[in-house]
Every structure is written in C-alpha cells, then in structure tokens.
Copies of this chain bind each other. A is one copy, B any other.
Amino acid sequence: MTEVVDKAKKAQKASHIMAEASTLQKNEALENIAQLLGNKAESIIQENSLDLDRLMEKEGYTKAFYDRLQLTTERIKDMAEGLRAIIALPDPVGEVTSMWRRPNGLQVGQVRVPLGVIGIIYEARPNVTIDAASLGLKSGNAVVLRGSSEAINSNKALVKILREGLKQADLPEDAVLLIEDVSRSAATELMQQNQYLDVLVPRGGAALIKTVVENATVPVLETGIGNCHTYVDSNADLNMALEIADNAKTHRPGVCNAMETLLVHQEIAASFLPQIIKRLEEKGVECRGCQITQKYVNSVKPAVEEDWKTEYLDLILAIKVVENFEEAIDHINTYGSGHSEAIVTSDYARGHAFLSRVNAAAVYINASTRFTDGFEFGLGAEMGISTQKLHARGPMGLTALTSTKYIIFGDGQIR
C-alpha cells in the first residue's frame, strides 16, 4: 500500500469519529493547537529555517516566494489567533436547515453533516497547513494535506502539532495527515482516491488549480482567478466612483478581488477619466486604455484585446469607455472570470439590472470589489473563493465544508 492510499484510508476511518465529535471537543482540540503553536514556536522556526536554507541554495527563487515560505514568531502568533477566531465561530454540523411534515405524518428534514475527508493541495505557504486544517476540523472533517516540497520540514512540524492537539482532546490524530511523498505522482494519486476522499480543495495559483481540475477524479471545490471590473455608470456619484475605483485597484493589487478593468460610461468619461487616471498614476498604476480613453488622457497606453482578458495582479489597469449600460454588461459577461463585479450608479433600475444580469460569484452596487472575502462577508473564515457554480459559490466558509442528509421521522408509514 502506498503512503497516499494508507493515509487516505486512515483519514476516512478518523472522519467517522470526527463527524460525531461535539463542538466542545473540536474547539478543545483547536485551543490545544493554538497553545502548542505558542509553546513550540522556536522549534517550528528552526524547522522552517531548514526549508529556507534549502531554498537559498536554489537559483532563481523570488523574494516573494521566500517571504511566503518564511515563518516568524509574529506569523505563528497570527496562526494561533486564526485558530481562536475559528473556535469562536458557530459549528455548522448538526444544524437542521429545515423540517416539514408531509400529509401522511412523516417529518422530513435536512441536517448539516461533514463532507468526510477533504484533500487539500497547496503551495509553499506553511500557514495554509494550519488555516485549512483548522477549518476542516471545526466542520467535523478529516483532512489529508499535500503541501509543496519546498515547505516539507515546516509542514511536518506543523502537522505534528495539529495531531498532538487532537490527541490531547481525545480525538483521532489521523484526522490530520500529511503526505510526505512530495513527488508529482503522489499528488496525482491523491487526486484519484475516490474511495476515501470526498472532495479536493486546491489552494494556490491558476497553474495548481488547472492541474488539479485536469487530473482529479475526486470532486474539486474550484477556486478561480479574478478578472474583476468596476463599471462607472452615467448616473454615478463621481466622488464615490473615484474612491471605489482607487480602492479596488490599489488597496491590494496582488489579490483576486482587485479591479483589473475599469469601464466608464461615455457620458461621464470626459470629467471622470482625467481625475481617476491622475489619481491612479500618482500611486504608480500603469493605465492602458481604449482609443477614447487615450483621447481624453494622453499619458494612457493603448490597451489591446489581451488586456481585457488579463488578471494583472499588479499596479496595471485596463480602461474602456462604453457606449451604454448594455455594453458594460456584455463586456463583463464576455471577459470577466465570474469572481467580483461592481457598478457605481445612483440609478435604481440599472443597479438592480446589474445585480441580476452579471454572471459572477459576487456582484456589488456602490462598493469596492475588495470586500469579496469570507471575513468581510461575515463568514468568519474562508477556505478560498469559489468561482464555480456547483456546491459553493463565492467565499467558502465552514458551511461550504459540509453536506446535508435527509432525516425522516415516522411512526410506521409505508407506501
């Protein structure tokens, strides 16, 4: 038996016990893990330094990559705080979402249950180890983790703590397992353990997600890229539009809910474009515009077809002047990735039509797309942002890690 099959099997066994664990017991395990993180910060940092040393021996790694891999006392403290935030969240398991009585007296209801075993495939970010595992555990699941080779020592150290915390709370250690075989074939093997895994969650960039979607036979909770738009309507409050567009582009340009294309109604283009472009350029944003945009502001570079499709994740913005509301909707539904889309308008009908007609996980009237986030939406935590339509769409909190089952109370009913 390979490591993958062995661990997938063990996780499934542990998942049956986790499904029955009380909220108190699960919270106790999470609290133990938070405390152990604090107590063992030094040894975690030591193990992490092995990974960092190994990275530095390689050529061509980036500063950003190093930064994401690095663990510090501060970051470990953040992980522990994250755990305590998850402890504070309501347990989704056991919630009876609805129950009704049938004419024959049967009571039919639906109750929330854990998914079972969640496989998590991620990149060289050791914080995901704690973050993803704790969400999985709180929702009563077992998790099988498959991090990247660059973080293997850090991940081993963190998984040891996760398992210790479970053990101290009399829960099965095997509710968290790390695949230590960092080969590509082991990852593919994990993606095909349909007998033992209920779902896969890839956490990382577009290439990772693509690999998982293409190779998995286990169902995937797919997170996607964010080619997000802000459309400034002819009836917009232009000061509000300035604030929203600036925030959506510059607050944190490297994340999936940042604006990548600004659409501007032709009627306000002359007054709005010079203002917003000046403001963005002062913050270092490179603006690439359509011909009309270039006409209003000379400094703007020309945008080509490729720009409408691109998630820059950088201080670059594509700008297009649209003839009317219809063109804005068409542009978004053609080029958008179905993540987050916003309109700035004071027009009632257009605002509601935008909500209804734009095909995306999160659609805004008069707010920055930067709010698409489990914490900002009030879900308390987030496993990622789904841009697919099945099972979960948008920020995935604890309930996205559950399923339901029908429970039926009878007193002898037959057909």
A378 touching B100, Cβ below 8 Å: yes
In this complex, how many residues of chain A approach chain B with their Cβ under 8 Å: the count is 66
A243 touching B405, Cβ below 8 Å: no
Say if the beta carbon of A376 comes within 8 Å of chain B. Answer: yes
**Which chain B residue shows the least CB distance to A414?**
B247
Residues of A with Cβ closer than 8 Å to B? 16, 19-20, 100, 102, 106, 108, 110-111, 115-116, 198-199, 213-214, 217, 219, 221, 237, 240, 243-244, 246-248, 251, 333, 355-357, 359-368, 370-372, 376-378, 388-391, 393-395, 403-415
C-alpha spacing A411/B19, complex, angstroms: 42
**Which chain B residue shows the least CB distance to A333?**
B16
Residues of B within 8 Å of A414, CB to CB, are: 243-244, 246-248, 251, 367-368, 370
C-alpha spacing A251/B413, complex, angstroms: 13
Q: List 8 A-B contacts (CB under 8 A).
A: A19-B359, A102-B377, A199-B390, A214-B217, A366-B410, A367-B411, A371-B413, A393-B403
Top 9 A-B residue pairs of the complex, sorted by shortest distance between their CB atoms: A367-B410, A247-B414, A389-B403, A391-B391, A362-B406, A366-B410, A240-B412, A367-B413, A390-B391
B410 touching A365, Cβ below 8 Å: yes
**Which chain B residue shows the least CB distance to A246?**
B414
Which of B102, B213, B243 contacts A412 (CB under 8 A)?
A: B243
C-alpha spacing A19/B221, complex, angstroms: 24
**Which chain B residue shows the least CB distance to A237?**
B412
A372 touching B410, Cβ below 8 Å: no
A367 touching B406, Cβ below 8 Å: no
Which of B19, B198, B391, B394 contacts A406 (CB under 8 A)?
A: B394
State whether A102 and B368 are in contact (beta carbons under 8 Å apart), knowing that A251-B414, A390-B219, A405-B394 are contacts in the complex: no
Residues of B within 8 Å of A371, CB to CB, are: 106, 408, 413, 415
A405 touching B360, Cβ below 8 Å: yes
B102 touching A408, Cβ below 8 Å: no
**Which chain B residue shows the least CB distance to A413?**
B367
